[in-house]
Amino acid sequence: MLYVGKARDLKKRVTTYFQKQPDSPRIAHMVARVARVEVTVTRSEAEALLLENNLIKSLTPRYNILFRDDKSYPFLKISGHEFPRIAYYRGTTDRDNQYFGPFPTAWAVRESIQILQKVFRLRTCEDTVFANRSRPCLLHQIHRCSGPCVGLVTHEDYARDVDRATRFLRGDTQAVLGEIEQRMQAASQAMRFEEAAVLRDQLSALSKVLHQQTMEGTGGRDTDVVAVALSGGRACVNLAMVRGGRHLGDKTFFPTHADDESPGDVLEAFVSQHYVDRAPPPVIVLSHELPDPDLAGMLSAQAGSRVTLVRQPQGVRRSWLEQARKNAELALARVLAEAGSQQARTRALAQVLALEADEAALEALRVECFDISHTAGEATQASCVVYHHHAMQPKEYRRYNIGDIVGGDDYAAMRQVLTRRYEKIADGDGVMPDVVLIDGGKGQVEVARQVFAELGLDIALLVGVAKGEGRKVGLETLVFADGRPPLALGAESAALMLVAQIRDEAHRFAITGMRARRAKTRSVSRLEQIEGVGAKRRQRLLARFGGLRGVVSASVEDLAGVEGISTELAERIYRQLH
């Protein structure tokens, strides 16, 4: 698949690609490779938009502008519980709970949760924990929760706080402020000074938040502000999201295959791809004119409500568009600077290892790095990270659970992971890297050499990274499996900086996986070690308290309230866990 496109007049659209003088080198390259043209007719332009972008996402055509944003956007969730809980949420929404967003980043959601805790004192605890509390938690003591779990706030008062919080999130801020102020004055006049003080603090905190985050003049309508910047053969799109009159933050995107496109083309590709699987807001402010004037109508048909595209905004929207432009330019300048530095590091590594150093070879250079992590032999795990196209490639990372070895035997672990990784490649299934980095010295490299020799692979690809004196970064030595003498590059070496970057990423990836595996193992084993707690009782305890942490924090009385747990056994569990 080379290219996917839509058009109301297919003949006119296709003809533009076969002119004597193509519009751009990209089109010339594409047309030279065309073998056939396939056509699919849809019932409407909205369906054509949906089909086009589903095909772009699934097939990633070589000559389309591609925006890679596979992650779903996070929401702030207010549960449908009798005493609703506020929580971070990512996934499919439903009708049983209230969802606010989407937010551009997880940080923006958590900041909003902190605001709701501080101003409205809503709970964040899991329902299982809420149902089994016997005394208020620390959040109540620091005035971040009103303590509904132990009856310190009535159902009516808590529901009123929830209502104010939802209205605040929807942008009805002035009414919420006025209501809090009226309640504060009424409490003061009735000489309920403690209640008045709480309301005064709410009013002060909410006013401060609104001063920092509210976008006046948006009319309360949810708005996305989208700006594009082009430079150095790269493009950057900055998306600013406004919900309920509050600026939730910015998110930047860097499309591929946009080196010879106009700002309008890049913007159109972003708008059509970004909103194909998520509801667009009522207003989208754009930095450039879109080539397709019918895009707003197609978005409206897809959303089931009117979507307005604003090209030349006025007032506060204009200032926020300028800020989005500036953010796009700054992000693009940073990426270009980092890309230049990273390409220089790749070139330096290729030269040090005597590899091809032309632009095509550097772009294709693939490095895989391995590390072993465990805690005193427990939960041993190996990691493999990949460096390709001058950048780390997280989607290609792999973790390997290591078993059937003596705990703490790093050599055996390295042998196992290298065998599992490369035996299929040796049989012709997969891509062989240009460099295989091993986090370790002569011993680990010798094990790697044996594995490669057994598999019939080139041992010259193997490079060990031996730690220097005091394990200081910059003092590492490169150790080779093919007899070349060890090489100390020095702390100023660009090649060593790249090696250290890849090695550190392999270490990070290995240790996070090992910790997760260890925690999972220990969470079960701690309960398994308690006499009288079998599989069914263990399952009931974990379900009642929402996991091991909840079991640990439970009192003897709480534990005894679980079906099948006697007071004597509850005391034994409590002693074992504390």
User: Is 6 in a helix, a strand, or coil?
Assistant: coil
Contacts (Cβ under 8 Å, ≥6 apart) of 161:
120, 121, 122, 146, 153
Q: How far apart, in Å, are the Cα atoms of 46 and each of 7, 9, 50, 298?
A: 11, 15, 6, 4
pTM of the predicted structure, to 2 decimals = 0.60
**CA-CA distance, 4 to 51, in Å (whole number)?**
10
CB-count burial class (<10 Å; 0-12, 13-18, 19+) for 357: middle
**155-170 and 106-120 helices, crossing angle to 10°:** 140
Check whether the bond before 486 is cis (ω within 30° of 0): no
Q: What percent of the chain has pLDDT over 90?
A: 31
**CA-CA distance, 317 to 339, in Å (whole number)?**
33
Contacts (Cβ under 8 Å, ≥6 apart) of 446:
481
| Lowest model confidence (mean pLDDT) among 1-15, 449-463, 553-567 | 1-15
**CA-CA distance, 527 to 513, in Å (whole number)?**
22
- Mean pLDDT over 36-56 rounds to 78
Measured over the CA atoms of residue 443, residue 446, residue 450 and residue 455, the dihedral's sign is positive
147-166: pLDDT as tens digits: 999 999 999 999 988 998 88
Torsion angle in degrees (nearest 10) through CA of 471, 472, 474, 478: -10
User: What is the helix (H) or strand (E) element at residue 494, kind and residue range?
Assistant: helix 494-528
Looking at residue 401, what DSSP letter applies? E
pLDDT value of residue 278: 78
Quick one: how far is CA 530 from the chain centroid?
Answer: 38
Q: What percent of the chain has pLDDT over 70?
A: 92
In order of their start, the domains of the chain are 10-59 (no CATH), 75-213 (no CATH), 223-333 (3.30.420), 359-516 (3.30.420.340), 529-577 (1.10.150.20)
Question: In this structure, are strands 378-388 and 234-243 parallel, antiparallel, or unpaired?
Answer: unpaired
**CA-CA distance, 80 to 93, in Å (whole number)?**
13
Q: What is the mean pLDDT of the chain?
A: 84
- pLDDT interval class at 379 (50, 70, 90): confident
pLDDT value of residue 181: 80
Q: How far apart, in Å, are the Cα atoms of 244 and each of 155, 202, 226, 351, 462?
A: 26, 19, 18, 55, 56
Q: Are residues 70 and 103 in contact, defined by beta-carbon separation less than 8 angstroms?
A: no
Measured over the CA atoms of residue 507, residue 510, residue 515 and residue 521, the dihedral's sign is negative
pLDDT value of residue 442: 92
Tokens of 204: 């002060």
Q: Is pLDDT of 315 > 60?
A: yes
Contacts (Cβ under 8 Å, ≥6 apart) of 81:
127, 130
242-257: pLDDT as tens digits: 887 777 788 899 988 8
Q: Which of 305, 310, 295 is nearest to 45 (CA)?
A: 295
pLDDT value of residue 156: 92
86-119: pLDDT as tens digits: 999 988 888 899 998 788 888 888 888 888 888 8
Q: Which of 159, 154, 162, 206 is nearest to 180 (CA)?
A: 206
Quick one: how far is CA 335 from the chain centroid?
Answer: 19
Higher pLDDT, 10 or 425: 425
Q: Are residues 440 and 466 in contact, defined by beta-carbon separation less than 8 angstroms?
A: yes
